[in-house]
Chain A
């Protein structure tokens, strides 16, 4: 029976965004096998598409497709190379179309194939046609990839500066709304979807985005009707708002990818981590790319917790040692030959190994200096239940962190940074917001620091009890495999299926709210729920579970949530979920975004 399962999996029924991207690249850069010596080409990109391509492909991948030069349309210092054909992959924005019109009226290359990464307006296409005096444009095609692919099932928008608008609470910055709409439109098209759209009813921003997406779908309905092959049931686009779960981005995450993002920061536009600030760092390790398709070790370890990661890394080191040992004592010519032939492989492996060693040692260093072992445990115990009876314990522990008190045995502690204190205080403020005897104001007064007294009110305004969804759907202090109440039994079950059975982890007790929400939709228990409303007409069977879901979180997603989705996909056959957001968050970014925008509210 097991073999049936594996063959079913091999049919590739996953919703793998890398595969979608590869598919587009194959189509755009197809080489003409008959005219092999005429295939040499230039690839012209713009600011947006350069990142989109670099996230899913490498230069040597492109070279295999006979791309000898990659350049940016914005670059005005490009040479005239009128022997080369040009393939353009561009965003159909006003500015880009203007630039492209200038380009083709005075062409630098011999002919042009133009691929837009989203739907192009007719007026813009006309403008382009008018400037093609020389009739050098051979092809104009729309493909749909106006989003960043970060993991197999994680995507974000391409240009969002701050997903929380400064112009007012719960209002969209127009550019961000446009970008989010474009992102989602192209995503569902690239997945062949004509979905049902649902959003969290308490969020104005979610409602606005849902309606904008619906508008795109109706105004391009012929396109959506043409999609084939057809599904027989509609997938779901679920638009959520970060404000309904402010806890997850504030908690310290303990899995590899999440930790890299939390402590070192992963750049959305190229999946890179900047390590150049480290002393004595080699040229090749100044910026490292975290891409699961290009790094097998990372693909295996990205969702592992710190303990499992160290075990795997140790294995990797041993593996490497065994392999290098065989060629450290090169005695015969045969050994030497073997070494030489495999040398590039060794070099790659050693570089990869030092990359992960560097990352983990840096993570380990920061965890120790920032006393994350202690703070995380406190965070987790406080936030993995909605029980407020432990207030006194929690507040005294919080105090010891905030005021750097000595340990019980009298040894002094390493003082915590302001950032971490703010994080801890924020979590406390959220947890005990409605508790009548909470000591928030006392603490703020005692701290007497504008950083704290300015931010906490902003946070509570944005994501306090009154701003969040209430009731069962709103719970943010959940325990993995939670215990209390009938409502939580579902969650308990859910996490037991998705998580590792029989294991419990003191540092990973909290379960993000998104898990409970998705559980409902997967099981078809979302019916008659006022917290999630549909836009447009909803013909779906209300008791029907959804098999395909695109989740989009306004305000940003956490890698920890991405891990959860990946686990869901892996553990449930016949379920496909992709997760996206305006950007990816770590605690610092979440706080900074909010502080920056909220100062004007």
Chain B
């Protein structure tokens, strides 16, 4: 009987005229030849011959899931192997119908059966391995050509800035100070200045010069540019900043030298002398230095410290064997690591609420906190296990301590002492009887006495243990 599904709606929507020729109506007319139903499309067939013809003509090209695999392979392969001159693999069908594969590694794979096709690299290997093209070498080559053009010019500029630095150091060393006019005289002879007559517009922002937009010479390259502060085509850079950027790294110079530099810096900060530099020279000479200094500063910033701490702790936890916790020490270690993580998360919360953070910094801290909290949550069962184990150990130790020192009440003590005395007396009596019986050769009775004596000795033993030091008072 065929099912008729109407999308979960039970109350009647008028019946749609259905194909009556192919499928049986609701149970009324069953196909007469139930035996011949195509296994793939469920079409009823009148005879086996028709079914065979139907399968051959319509289902051969697409192997359907419903077809038994062995038939599919054999049919496909047989047909392909004979009719096509380029078989990918051939199959010989044995009498039992079980196909046997014989791979032939030349031919058209997509014509083969599924089993062969799935073994073919050009079929199963093409999807998961998405291609990419590395252009880094091309990029580096392009960058190099460009850099070579510029490097000579940059070297000249670099040398001039170095000259400024040297002049400051020398003048300061000889006289302890210098005046603005001295600086102006020096910077004017640093390089030849461009002739102003031929220049009508700023080469950087292309604004025409006029009464308000004046011509300025860059002291490093000598070119004429405008001095518009908003556009920043040129600006007066304080000597203090230049000095700070050019001076050699503290670690490479002597202490003496560093002290010297500090004095100069102090002097330069007091007198706000500056040198006009165009934006091109600024980029060429100073950018890299500023960039490197920034990088170093950020590398040791507060956030990086928190991040490194988090990585360190999580790595340590990772290296501990998480599945089984072996001894107390490791347990304690694990618990303390988690405590540190918790502390770190709290610290981050503090930083977030107390310091003035920029949007991106806040985002970074948020992500870090999220990472930590999630990590702790995910590892919570292990932590709990560790804690529990630790607690259990402690409890055990405690129990042992309690059991080790039984505290007996005075009454117990007295009773037990009395009992012990009685037992000892009994023992003495039994022993003397034992000796007597031995002399009298009453060996049968000896046996009974023997076990009696053993019982008494066991009880004495137990009592002395219970009483411990209190036994003889």
- Interfacial residues, chain A to chain B (CB-CB below 8 A): 1-2, 4-5, 8, 11-16, 19-20, 23-24, 27, 36-37, 40, 60, 63, 68-69, 71, 77-84, 105-107, 110, 115, 120, 125-126, 128-130, 132-145, 189-193, 223, 226-233, 254, 305-308, 310-311, 337, 341, 344, 373-374, 377, 380-381, 479, 481, 483, 490, 492-493, 496-497, 501-509, 522-524, 544-545, 547, 571-576
Report yes or no: A547 in contact with B6, Cβ–Cβ below 8 A.
no
Contacts of A190 in B (CB 8 A): 130-131
| Contact partners of B132 in chain A: CB under 8 A | 24, 27, 115, 141-144
Find chain A residues with CB under 8 A from B315 CB: 36
Minimum CB–CB distance for A526 against chain B, Å: 12
Of the candidates B114, B132, B307, B312, the one having the most CB atoms from chain A within 10 angstroms of its own CB is: B132
Smallest CB-CB A-B distances: 7 pairs:
A307-B8, A83-B298, A129-B142, A79-B360, A37-B311, A496-B41, A483-B19
A191 and B63 contacting across the interface, CB-CB below 8 Å:
no
Any chain A CB within 8 A of the CB of B210?
no
Whether B299 sits at the interface, judged by CB under 8 Å, is: yes
Is the CB of B444 closer than 8 A to any CB of chain A? Answer: no
A19 and B127 form a contact (CB under 8 A): yes
- A380 with B16, Cβ < 8 A, contacts A36-B315, A143-B130, A229-B122 known: yes
B16 touches A493 (CB 8 A): no
Query: Given known contacts A83-B304, A505-B6, is B143 in contact with A132 (CB within 8 Å)?
Result: yes
In the assembled complex, the CB of B181 is this many whole angstroms from the nearest CB of chain A, namely: 35
Question: What is the minimal beta-carbon distance from A56 to any residue of chain B, in angstroms?
Answer: 12
Contact of B364 among A69, A82, A509 (CB under 8 A): A69
Complex Cα gap A4–B114 (Å) = 10
Is B236 engaged at the interface, CB distance under 8 Å to the other chain? Answer: no
From residue A477, how far is it (CB to closest CB) to chain B in Å? 15
How distant is B71 from chain A, measured CB to nearest CB, in Å?
10
Number of A-B contacts (CB under 8 A): 269
A306-B8 CB under 8 A given contacts A11-B118, A142-B133, A497-B62 = yes
Question: Which residues of B are found within 8 Å of A63, using beta-carbon distances?
Answer: 367, 370-371
18 other contacts beyond A63-B370, A125-B142, with CB at 8 A cut-off? A1-B69, A12-B128, A13-B117, A20-B130, A23-B129, A79-B359, A81-B298, A137-B143, A142-B135, A190-B131, A192-B131, A228-B131, A504-B2, A508-B7, A522-B62, A571-B64, A572-B63, A574-B63
User: Is B148's CB within 8 Å of the partner chain A?
Assistant: no
Check A310 against B64 for contact (C-beta < 8 Å). no
**Is the beta-carbon distance between B6 and A507 smaller than 8 angstroms?**
yes
Contacts of B126 in A (CB 8 A): 191-193, 229, 231
Q: With A4-B69, A144-B131, A497-B40 as known contacts, state yes or no: A506 contacts B110, CB within 8 Å.
A: no
Chain B residues whose CB sits within 8 angstroms of the CB of A310 once the complex forms: 8
Q: Is B70 an interface residue (CB 8 A)?
A: yes
- Measured in the bound complex, the distance between the Cα atoms of B111 and A232 in whole Å is 10
Could you say which residues of chain B place their CB within 8 Å of the CB of A191?
126-127, 130
- Encode contact with A along B102-120: 1 for CB under 8 Å, 0 otherwise: 0000001111001101101
With a cutoff of 8 Å between Cβ atoms, the chain A residues found around residue B142 in the complex are: 125-126, 129-130
Q: How far is the CB of B308 from chain A (nearest CB, A)?
A: 5
Nearest Cβ in chain A — how far from B312, in angstroms? 7
Min CB distance A561 to B, Å, is: 19
A178 to B171, CA, bound (A): 64
Contact B5 A504 (CB under 8 A): yes
Are B115's CB and A8's CB within 8 A?
yes
User: A356 → chain B, closest Cβ, in Å?
Assistant: 16
Which of B45-53, B286-294, B429-437 has 4 or more CB atoms under 8 Å from chain A? B286-294
Question: Which residues of chain A are within 8 angstroms of B123 by Cβ–Cβ distance?
Answer: 13, 231
B283, CB-defined interface residue at 8 Å: yes
How far, in angstroms, from A143 to B132 measured CA to CA in the complex? 5
- Bound together, the chains give a CA A310 to CA B445 distance in angstroms of 90
| Residue in B closest to A14 when the chains form the complex, CB atoms | B127
A60 and B374 in contact (CB under 8 A), knowing A68-B368, A377-B13, A497-B41? Answer: yes
* Chain A residues, Cβ within 8 Å of B59: 493
- Do A16 and B127 contact each other (CB < 8 Å), given the known contacts A60-B374, A307-B7, A504-B2? yes
Cβ–Cβ < 8 Å partners of B364 in chain A: 68-69, 81
